[in-house]
Structure 1
Amino acid sequence: MDTARTPRDEAAEYIANRRFHQSVTLPARDGHKKMLISYAEYGYEGDANTPTILFTPGMFGSRYVGMFMHAIAAKNKVRVLVPDRFGFGETKNVPLESRISAWTAAMPRFLEALGIKHVALLSHSAGTIYNLNLLWHHREVLHPTRPMIFFLAPFVDVAHSKVPMVLALQKLPEMSFGYWNKMASFFALKASVMVGFSSGLLAQFAGALSPGNDEPSAREANMKVIERDYGLGVDLQVVLEMAVTRGLFAEDTVGANHEALVCLKKGSGAFWAEADDMAVLIDKLAVRERETRVEGRAALRVGIFFAETDAMTGKTGQEYFQSCWKGENGQYEGCFDVKIKTIDKSDHDSVLRAAEALVDVIESVAEVGMQGGSIE
């Protein structure tokens, strides 16, 4: 007689989905070396015309992080691509100083290799830095008439956020971050501490001063919404959380050491390229949007989802990021269509799994066919 399947059995089968563990080799071209990128394809398994989101996670830039979007995206017939960043999965690490520029150059090639012309951009936490650079250098990857970019708990320079613990971490010697990924793995797997995917131990340390607001009741309520609307049982979601963490740390995570340095702007190569001054960059983006605006093209849709309590960015950092996009006295009117929402009872990391935010993003993308040029 067959034994009943347990949530652990279901989680193992869920994670083993072949679509979640793929790789593509980008050929050498235009001065760029051949590069293998491992990635996951979550959501709907469609074709080149399927509405698509390119998701850039936070500090732990692993494809595993996007797994929580799968059920929601699949129901809405949206595809979510999550490539492993440098030093995660099978994607090899690169020198710190070329981390952002190499990624910015690789993404259009990655999409081209998969036969995808246009995407909506989504980032969480430190992924903000990468997607702002991608938006500046490769605006063409967005939909030609309905361009969209979304931010979940955007991370900003501590010079603007003034978060005390992040300021303290910035003063640690660079060598302190040489085994950052190993420390995160120990806490997550051995000490059974939930390490946030966006910022890992940074969020844990910062949370000691500014406790998160992801109450057990809020977490359970979110899981029940996903169970009710998207068919993923609460018991399975609970097991998946740890299974995703184990899967992530079973692979290469050395890239997290460089990511910590990038977030803290430590080391000679840890600059943010075009995003080094977000206010200046966004002003340049507005000028370009205004100058290149054509009839029939909507303003750049900018969706920002703040956590109610954010130990990594803080209220001051949130206000700064919002002001960058809003400008003064309507100066960016017609350039950006900015929509801002704060997710109740969420923190810097839990907002990544908040159904309220993910459904908003995914349904917005579902309404527009990403690959065509017509307004649908």
Structure 2
Amino acid sequence: MASKTPPPATDPNPPREFPDPAEYLDDPRFKRKFTLPPTPDLPEDFHVTYADFGHNDPSEPSSTHVLLLCGPLLGSRYLHIAKDTLAKRHKVRIIDIDRPGFGGTTPVPPNLRIRAWLAIVPALLAHLGVRHVALAAHSGGTLYALNTLLHHRHLLSPSRPYVALCAPWVHPSHSGAAMMSLTSNLPQGLVGSFDKVAGFMVRSLVPATVGFSNAVSGMLSGIVPSLAGTPAEEYTAPGVTDVRLAEFEEKIWGTLIKRVYAESVQGLGQDAVLLLKRDGNETFWGEWEDYDKLVPLLAQHEGELDGDGLEVEVFFAASDAMIGTGDGPKWFEQCWREEQRGERIKFSSSVIPKADHDSIVSLRFDVFERIIRGVGSVAEEASPVSAEQTAA
């Protein structure tokens, strides 16, 4: 009699089921609300929406390290919520704030966007009882991160004051990037209406399998993340420790982007005006005007401080339609040369193979994993903080 075929062995590590994207996005941690105290020059009843996820153990505050994100032109709190599991593994809490005109955050015109951000950050951190953070920015979020650094340096961790800049925005006058040079010459009204154009494309014309950047015939190329997620042909960087997290990020991406556009994205057009310095106002970014004038100011401030010096880590993409891969990165690095940054600012930069301007922050690449792991490894005592202390 023929022997029976033995049953297949049970996989000791069966594949994890992905959560339903819509249910995942409904997690209340991804839609917190806060009302800004009365602030000069800003509207009354200024509302802020934000995501607060990752590791958060109120009973053991010293085990939690906080990473404050400054997103790209599409400044939505939703963009990095798939990194929740990774953040928990490294005991990192992530706070991602909707910039003005995104989600439920009150809109403001371009000339008030930086000022509003600088009011929101210390007030929200005080509200949450957060004393110190590390900063990470992507693309246009660089302006917000560096202004935070200039005006609220005391908010950075004293054990490791750290700022990560991923594909940092460089104005086309320095980068010479063809697409952005063309975009910068578009009529003012069209630049300020990018939110309406992009929203129409998402709702009406672009199927979830088509990259958004490729679908807008170049005009908005690279401006906002693609609907399809990472166009990396399933490439996974060697440093990635869990490819399933990357797969989950890609699975929810189409639903996530649609959720972003189901809420307000008015800030997209206003941020475009800000980044391109339209309206003839060179001081939209700050009185420093551009990075070459900012870095010496940071160096001067660092020289007045005790404790560990500032660490700035920059990640450039191997291909980048927004800032190019030649003049843009080269000019940005020159702004941070030693005679500009002084002895107390440590600067490093690297190019991420196969990454582009959008995908560099995806979990297919190890950039965010490196950032989160580094933030989580810092030994620091944490304690509750009052509004007065955080706003000092």
User: 2-side partners of 1:69 and 1:158: how far apart?
Assistant: 31
Q: CA deviation at 1:75?
A: 1.3
Q: CA deviation at 1:358?
A: 0.5
Aligned position for 2:8: none
Aligned position for 2:206: 191
Of the three residues 273, 280, 288, the one matched with 2:301 is: 288
User: 2-side partners of 1:20 and 1:358: how far apart?
Assistant: 19
Q: CA deviation at 1:135?
A: 0.8
Q: CA deviation at 1:203?
A: 7.4
2:328 paired with 1:311: no
2:245 paired with 1:232: yes
Q: What are the superposed Cα offsets for residues 322-347 of structure 1, whole Å, 9 maximum, x if unpaired? A: 1212234xx64531122212111011
User: 1-side partners of 2:24 and 2:267: how far apart?
Assistant: 26
Q: Which secondary structure state, in structure 1, belongs to the residue aligned with residue 78 of structure 2? A: helix
User: 2-side partners of 1:333 and 1:269: how far apart?
Assistant: 29
TM-score (norm 1): 0.85
Q: Which secondary structure state, in structure 2, belongs to the residue aligned with residue 232 of structure 1? A: helix
2:174 paired with 1:160: yes
User: Residues 98 and 269 of structure 1 are in contact (CA less than 8 Å); yes or no, is this contact kept in structure 2?
Assistant: no
User: 2-side partners of 1:332 and 1:95: how far apart?
Assistant: 32
User: Residues 230 and 362 of structure 2 are in contact (CA less than 8 Å); yes or no, is this contact kept in structure 1?
Assistant: no
User: 2-side partners of 1:182 and 1:156: how far apart?
Assistant: 24
Aligned position for 1:22: 32
Aligned position for 1:100: 114
Matched residue count: 353
User: 2-side partners of 1:273 and 1:166: how far apart?
Assistant: 21
Gap regions ≥5 residues in structure 2:
1-15, 224-228, 384-392
Q: Which secondary structure state, in structure 1, belongs to the residue aligned with residue 52 of structure 2? A: strand
Report the residue type matching 1:155 in the other structure: W
Q: CA RMSD in A?
A: 2.9
Report the residue type matching 1:324 in the other structure: C
User: Residues 121 and 148 of structure 1 are in contact (CA less than 8 Å); yes or no, is this contact kept in structure 2?
Assistant: yes
2:370 paired with 1:357: no
Gap regions ≥5 residues in structure 1:
1-5, 209-213
Higher helix share: 1
Identity of aligned residues (%): 33
Report the residue type matching 1:195 in the other structure: F
Report the residue type matching 1:67 in the other structure: I
User: 2-side partners of 1:175 and 1:322: how far apart?
Assistant: 33
Aligned position for 1:3: none
Q: CA deviation at 1:138?
A: 0.9
Aligned position for 2:292: 279
The structure-2 alpha-carbon separation of the partners of 1:160 and 1:370, relative to structure 1 and needing over 3 Å to count, comes to: farther
User: 2-side partners of 1:224 and 1:282: how far apart?
Assistant: 33
Q: CA deviation at 1:72?
A: 1.6
The structure-2 alpha-carbon separation of the partners of 1:28 and 1:321, relative to structure 1 and needing over 3 Å to count, comes to: same
Of the three residues 347, 353, 371, the one matched with 2:356 is: 347
User: 2-side partners of 1:221 and 1:127: how far apart?
Assistant: 26
TM-score (norm 2): 0.82
The structure-2 alpha-carbon separation of the partners of 1:62 and 1:158, relative to structure 1 and needing over 3 Å to count, comes to: same
Aligned position for 2:378: 368
Of the three residues 256, 264, 274, the one matched with 2:268 is: 256
Of the three residues 244, 252, 256, the one matched with 1:244 is: 256
User: Residues 20 and 39 of structure 1 are in contact (CA less than 8 Å); yes or no, is this contact kept in structure 2?
Assistant: yes
Of the three residues 123, 129, 146, the one matched with 1:109 is: 123
User: 1-side partners of 2:230 and 2:41: how far apart?
Assistant: 49
User: Residues 215 and 345 of structure 1 are in contact (CA less than 8 Å); yes or no, is this contact kept in structure 2?
Assistant: no
Q: Which secondary structure state, in structure 1, belongs to the residue aligned with residue 236 of structure 2? A: helix
User: 1-side partners of 2:175 and 2:246: how far apart?
Assistant: 38
Q: Which secondary structure state, in structure 1, belongs to the residue aligned with residue 264 of structure 2? A: coil
Q: CA deviation at 1:224?
A: 10
The residue correspondences of 1:75-154 to structure 2 (distance < 5 A) are 75-154=89-168
Q: CA deviation at 1:119?
A: 0.4
2:335 paired with 1:335: no
Q: CA deviation at 1:202?
A: 10
The structure-2 alpha-carbon separation of the partners of 1:117 and 1:300, relative to structure 1 and needing over 3 Å to count, comes to: same
User: 1-side partners of 2:222 and 2:372: how far apart?
Assistant: 29
User: 2-side partners of 1:222 and 1:275: how far apart?
Assistant: 39
> Which moves more between the two structures, 71-80 or 23-32?
23-32
User: 2-side partners of 1:215 and 1:244: how far apart?
Assistant: 14
Larger gyration radius, structure 1 or structure 2? 2
